[in-house]
Structure 1
Amino acid sequence: MPWDLSMAIGASFLVSFFVQCFYAHRIWIISNRNKLLTGAVLVAASAQLVFGFVLLGVARTGNIATLFNSPYNPVNSLGSAVCDAIITASVLFYLRPSRTNLLRKDYHIQKLNLVYVQTGLITFLNALAIAILYYQDVMVGEYLTVAPGIVKSKTYLNALLAILNARKLTRNQPAPPLEIPTLPTIH
């Protein structure tokens, strides 16, 4: 396998790991330092990284087909999908409207929640697609994983940038006006 392909695949695993660690830090903050939840995200992210580098070690045999036939490929993708599912579910749980008692900030939290869920769902589906396409019974089978595998690191980077940009947008937008219901008058 060419060295530049190895570097690109390794960079993809590293980008996924660092973005998932960024999300773990966010979960640490919004969950009020929940060690179990943050630890689960970090374990899943670390498993994804370790199986990714084991996959690269197996693929160094010189034959590119070993990269696609390795059983570590779907395990790596499933680790990434599990991590993304934990991140998305925990953000959805901790930023749900019933947990916030601030009426004015509720609009901004809903916008952040929507961005987190959208980006988490995209990265989750991409990682899950790699694992599902690996087990197809088609003649080219495992080679179908190339398409979502190519965009894996790009979806993680876009998810990170979307979160950072969403924070800036919600900070600069005024909250929608509060509607005060009219009180019936007694004559």
Structure 2
Amino acid sequence: MSGVILSRASLIPLDNFLGAWLIGLIVSSVFFGVTCLQVYLYFTKHSARDPVFLKTFVVLLLALDTLHLAFVSHSFYFATVTNFGDYVELGTAPWSLLVQMAVAVLLATCVQLFYAFRIYTLSNKSLVLPVMIGVLAFADLALAIATVHKTFQVKYFSLASEDLPYFAASLSIKVACDVLIASAMVYYLLRRKTGFHKTRNAINLLVTYSLRSGAITMMCAICHLATFVALPSTLIYAPFFFVLVRLYTLSFLSILNSRDHVREQLFSIAHAMITIPSSYTGDSSKLPADAETVMTGAEKGTGKVSGSVFSTTGEEGPGPHPSML
């Protein structure tokens, strides 16, 4: 009897299955803890001026993130505790491991659609890129649902290669959507650069956030795709997928929680209106470098300032509008 058990066990490389499964669960749980911290910081320090819709959206993402981790945890418990020693069952994907894929893609779709709305705002309400992002996001969601339906029919890990076209198409669309989002964000932000030092710093900071969040999620998605294509009959790819879900939530929350810092850089001078005494007549070159001087037509030709009010950007400068942050 023991020989039969050993022979069955030898057919299933536990390192490639339970080992990878466990590593993915542990790492994604750590990232989930960071997500909870980011949500706590958002509601305690950064949400005062946000509309109810945005706060509700954050709660929705946290709920989906929690549900995804619950499904992953249940699937591992089902394989290692409920069916302990059953090597036939170990070769079958639990229902919760299949459903978590749909939850993960639904979460990613929500984040991508939110970025599409931000691009719509940044582009002065141009619909071209937001619609393209929306089409890619919903196509990814549709493929994920089709993949889950297909895997429920197959179930066995050894036959996972049959789902390769679905997985490859879904991940390729996801990467394309992330690249489009990051490129559009960078393009429209750079277009709003001004000659003011503070504004340039704020724009550069926003560009850095966009590139960093897009690059991290894209690299994780590429690693997931590469490992699944190379080893489709194992779970080596699972840690990358579990972490990828957390990265979408974390990148979104990190941008929300960084807005105050960006606003401080962008508007520290813009909100400071300085009135020059009417008795003052001096060289405009001695004014602060970040100041945009309001002068009369005659004064513009002389470089002199007399009884003027100046500000950094005015009320409708070319930099990002506060609602975009």
The counterpart of 2:258, out of the listed 162, 166, 177, is 166
Q: 1:77 aligns with which of 171, 178, 194?
A: 171
TM-score (norm 1): 0.83
User: Match for 1:121 among 215, 219, 233?
Assistant: 215
- 1:29 equivalent in structure 2: 121
Contact 1:56–1:67, Cα closer than 8 Å, also in 2: no
1:5-49 deviation digits (Å, cap 9, x = unpaired): 233222111111001011111111111122111111111111111
SS in 1 for 2:153: coil
* Counterpart amino acid of residue 170 in structure 1: V
Q: 40-49 or 80-89, which moves further after superposition?
A: 40-49
Q: 1:121-162 deviations in whole A, cap 9, x for unaligned?
A: 1111112222222332x5x66643212111111010011111
- The letter of the residue matching 2:182 is T
User: Alpha carbon RMSD of aligned pairs, Å?
Assistant: 2.6
Identical aligned pairs, as a percentage? Answer: 24
The letter of the residue matching 2:121 is I
Q: Normalising by structure 2, report the TM-score.
A: 0.50
CA distance in 1, matches of 2:288, 2:229: 54
Give the Cα separation in 2 of the matches to 1:175 and 1:99.
15
Does the alignment pair 1:130 with 2:130? no
Going from structure 1 to structure 2, the CA distance change for 1:100 and 1:172 (only over 3 Å counts) comes to closer
The 1:169/1:64 distance shift into structure 2, 3 A limit, reads: farther
> Distance in 1 between the 2:237 and 2:288 partners?
51
Structure 2 CA distance for aligned equivalents of residues 127 and 105 of structure 1: 33
Q: Larger Cα Rg: Structure 1 or Structure 2?
A: 2
**Does 2:134 match 1:38?**
no
Q: Which runs of 5+ in 2 are unaligned?
A: 1-92, 270-286, 290-325
1:63-74 aligned at under 5 Å gives the runs 63-65=155-157, 66-67=159-160, 69-70=162-163, 71-74=165-168
Q: 2:247 and 2:112 mapped to 1: Cα distance?
A: 12
Cα separation, 2, equivalents of 1:155 and 1:31:
26
Whole-Å separation in 2 of the counterparts to 1:174 and 1:44: 33
CA shift for structure 1 position 167: 1.2
**Maintained 8 Å contact 2:95/2:152:** no
Give the conservation status (yes or no) of the 8 Å contact 2:140–2:170: yes
Q: For residues 144 and 185 of structure 2, what CA distance do their matches in structure 1 show?
A: 26
Q: Secondary structure at the match of 1:95?
A: helix
Question: Which residue number in structure 1 is paired with residue 142 of structure 2?
Answer: 50
